[in-house]
Structure formats: structure tokens, C-alpha cells
Amino acid sequence: MHLLWLRVAAILYATASVAIFPAVLYNKERWRSICVHLGGLGFLFHFVSVVEMLVLAHRWMPVGVREAESLLALVVAGLFFLVWWIYGAISLGIFALPVTFFLVFVPSLGMERYTFPSEGVRTSWLVAHIAALLAAYAALGFSMLASILYLVQERRLKSKMKAARNLLAAPLDWLPPLDTLERIAHATLLFGFPCMTVGLVIGSVLVQETPLGAAYFLDPKVLASFGMWFVYVLLLFLRHTAGLRGRKAAYLSGAVLVVMLAVWGANMFSHVHRFGAQ
């Protein structure tokens, strides 16, 4: 039964991870309540699962990677709710809850090595994995382009150049207003984030059939991919909480894009990411 409780906890953690973003980024009280209640229920089911798992195994310490991941996730979730209870700081949940879900997700598939029911199912998951990550890369690239155009338009407006007086300014008359470019950059960021998240979740399933299995996080390139996800979250977090706009947001988006391209290039040489060769 402990696997059933763990799967219920994973679903609740996933829902809480979705709710935490509007709760923190947009200060939505309703989403805050949903996040806390669902995350708390997830923690309860998770605790029951871990206790039952250890009792049935007649031991008090985890053995194996999946058991260790489940216990680590319980500690992360427990620390988050402790901080929230004492200080009322829910902002940390934007990092803690997704981490908890990622750690719980793989053990919830089963304590043994996961295998797909057929090659067709595996191929479908692989296509979805690649499509989601490509969409994330494209979204961030489009956001970066909008940010670059923002810088160009800002410089043009500050210089007070007029097309009638300066031939170099005439080709730039088609540029949208600064506010429009800012909204485009932000909207594409918001679109790319769930794509990247879905891509990483699917990749966590696909990698279970590799030699690393549940220990996929030991691959430095896998760690870099999750690090890239954290940088993406940090970008969204800073844009809302620190009020980053315009030039600073453009520079930060550029830095994130460079990180993403570096990780993408590194993954091309990773044995873990050669799913087609399995």
C-alpha cells in the first residue's frame, strides 16, 4: 500500500507545485490556500508511505536509491512547511515543492526498474520529451529576441531620433512600443516554463530504462538540466518580486538563454540522453 500512498502524494505535490506559482508571483490568496492544503495533504500521505515502507522492510533506514529519494523528498517538504508555519514565508515553496515532486515522482513509478509496456509507448514519450524541451528553448529564444528589440527601441527613444532627420532611424519605425515588447518577452517566458517542466518530468521517466535508472541524477548533465530549470524559475521569480523590467530583464534573459544553450550542447554528448540508442 505504501506505493499507492506515495503516488497519491506525488499527485498532490504536483498540484501544489502548480498552485505555488500564481500564489507567489501574483500574490493570489486563493491559490495560496490551495497550495498549502494540497501540499499538506501530500506531506501526510508521503509520511504514511515512508513509515509503512520502512516498517514492512523491518528497518529504520532507507536502502536503495528510490527509498533514499523518497525520504529526502519528505525532509525537503517537511522543512518547507516548518518554515512556512513559523515565518509564514510561502515564497520558498516555489523551489521546495517542485523539488519534492521531482524527488517523489520516480519512486512513485515503483521501487524496481521501470519499463515501458511497449516500444510504441516509449517512442511517444520520447517525442513528447523532445517536443516539450524544444518548445521551451524556442520560447526563451523568442523572449530574448523581444528583449533585444526592447533595448534597441529604448535607446532609439532616449536618443529622440526621428526618421525624418536620421536615415538610420527610419528602418526601426516598425518596432512595437516598449510596453508591448515587455509583455511579449514576459508571455513567452511564461509559456516556456511549463514546457521545460513537462520535458524534464518525461525525461525522468525515460531515463529509468538507462543503466543509471533511479540514479540518473548522478549524471552531471542531468544535474545541469535541473540547474537550468532552477535558473528559469529564478528568472520568473525576480521579474515579479524584484520588479525587473526593461534593460535588466533583457540582460538576465540573455544569461538564462546562454545557460540553456550550454546545457543543451552538453546533453548532446551525454550517454543518458541518447535514448534512441537504448
Same domain membership, residue 187 and residue 234: yes
Same domain membership, residue 224 and residue 137: yes
pLDDT at 66: 80
Residue 115 backbone phi and psi in degrees, to 5: -130, 145
Does pLDDT of 151 surpass 90?
no
In a domain, 224, yes or no: yes
pLDDT digits (tens, 9 = 90+) for 227-274: 878 888 887 877 776 566 666 767 777 777 777 777 666 666 655 555
Instruction: Please identify, among 55, 87, 108, the residue that sits at the C-terminal boundary of a domain.
Output: 108
pLDDT digits (tens, 9 = 90+) for 6-47: 999 999 999 999 999 999 888 889 999 999 999 999 999 999
Q: How far is CA 177 from CA 121, 173, 183, 191, in A?
A: 46, 10, 10, 21
Instruction: Please identify, among 108, 128, 154, the residue that sits at the C-terminal boundary of a domain.
Output: 108
Q: Measuring CA to CA, which residue among 256, 233, 263 is closest to residue 17?
A: 233
CA 239/CA 82 separation, integer angstroms:
27
Same domain membership, residue 268 and residue 153: yes
End-to-end CA distance of the chain: 32
Q: Measuring CA to CA, which residue among 173, 62, 39, 59 is closest to residue 111?
A: 62
pLDDT at 278: 43
Q: What is the pTM of this model?
A: 0.77
> What are the start-end ranges of the E strands in the chain?
none
Domain membership of residue 102 as a residue range: 2-108
Instruction: Please identify, among 86, 108, 130, the residue that sits at the C-terminal boundary of a domain.
Output: 108
Does pLDDT of 70 surpass 70?
yes
3-state percent helix, strand, coil for the chain, nearest multiple of 5: 80, 0, 20
Same domain membership, residue 88 and residue 31: yes
Same domain membership, residue 126 and residue 98: no
Q: How many domains does the chain have?
A: 2
